[in-house]
């Protein structure tokens, strides 16, 4: 038969039959795992990158409930031991996905704000971009703001989270006044920034939960909805956002 596996060669050593079949091992090593690369390919230093990439695909397409250690390692073609060589637990992998999310959000906010010198327009652009990011990556957004709570365990995640939040503080107050070492104090000392974020987070959540009866759900329609809510908020800020 064409698909018949190579027959094992039994070697007798001190009266003990030992399965010793290099041909069989070579055959197994060349087999592909599903539609992905062979397992041997993943011993060249790219396992961590592949774990992150495939985990992100599963999370984005199917949600966090589908992202398990067994599923992830099976998809890639490595063992759980390979996973633990790169991440202490699944939470550390999730923290890396959340870190990437905050980094992307901060970069997008920075890019859109750079298009205007007017602080009101910059703040409006930041708010729209925040919601656009969440609607484009709903499961990543939920991970960033719901699944992981103690960011102090993940220094790189906390740094990117702080950077994303600091952009709104800088545009509202005209300078970076954020002190990440004492979050409660910063929230109370900078109430407009904190209140603005809670408003924006609330808007985002009701949109993701499909509680707003949009006609088309287009980027233009969502943006107009965000603008109307944020303009009402800005009107209460008075001259604080004036150049």
Instruction: Domain ranges for the chain, please list them.
Output: 1-31, 45-87, 91-241
Q: What does the pLDDT look like over 3-51, one tens digit per residue?
A: 443 433 333 333 333 333 334 333 333 333 334 444 444 445 589 999 9
**Hey, what long-range contacts does 39-47 have (CB within 8 A, 24 or more apart)?**
39/77, 39/78, 42/76, 42/77, 42/78, 42/82, 47/76, 47/78, 47/82, 47/85, 47/86
- pLDDT (tens digit, 9 = 90+) per residue, 142-184? 999 988 878 889 999 999 999 999 998 999 998 889 888 888 8
- Quote the distance between the C-alpha of residue 143 and its chain's center: 7
- Residues constituting the chain: 243
The CATH code that applies to domain 45-87 is 1.10.10.60
> Could you tell me if residue 30 is left (phi over 0), alpha (psi between -120 and 50 degrees) or otherwise beta?
alpha
The whole-angstrom separation of Cα 138 and Cα 35 is 27
DSSP conformation class of 12: E
Q: What is the pTM of this model?
A: 0.77
Options 3.90.1150.10, 1.10.150.120, 1.10.357.10, 1.10.1530.10; CATH of 91-241: 1.10.357.10
Q: Check if the beta carbon of residue 234 is closer than 8 Å to that of residue 127.
A: no
State pLDDT tens for residues 51-72.
999 999 999 999 999 999 999 9
């Amino acid at each position: 038969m064409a698909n018949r596996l190579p027959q094992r060669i039994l070697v007798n050593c001190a009266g003990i039959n030992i399965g010793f079949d290099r041909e069989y091992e070579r055959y197994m090593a060349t087999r592909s795992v599903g539609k992905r690369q062979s397992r041997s390919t993943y011993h060249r230093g790219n396992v961590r990158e592949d774990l992150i990439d495939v985990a992100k695909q599963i999370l984005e397409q199917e949600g966090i409930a589908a992202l398990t250690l067994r599923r992830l390692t099976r998809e890639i073609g490595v063992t759980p031991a390979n996973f633990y060589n790169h991440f202490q637990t699944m939470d550390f992998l999730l923290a890396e996905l959340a870190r990437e999310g905050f980094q992307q959000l901060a970069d997008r906010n920075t890019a859109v704000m750079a298009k205007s010198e007017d602080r009101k327009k910059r703040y409006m652009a930041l708010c729209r971009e925040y919601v656009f990011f969440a609607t484009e990556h709903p499961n990543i957004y939920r991970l960033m703001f719901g699944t992981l709570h103690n960011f102090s365990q993940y220094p790189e995640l906390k740094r990117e989270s702080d950077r994303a939040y600091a952009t709104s503080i800088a545009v509202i107050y005209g300078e970076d006044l954020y002190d990440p070492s004492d979050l409660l104090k910063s929230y109370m000392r900078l109430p407009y920034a904190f209140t603005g974020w809670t408003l924006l987070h609330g808007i985002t959540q009701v949109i993701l939960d499909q509680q707003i009866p949009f006609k088309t759900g287009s980027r233009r329609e969502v943006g107009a909805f965000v603008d109307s809510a944020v303009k009402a908020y800005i009107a209460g800020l008075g001259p604080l956002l004036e150049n």
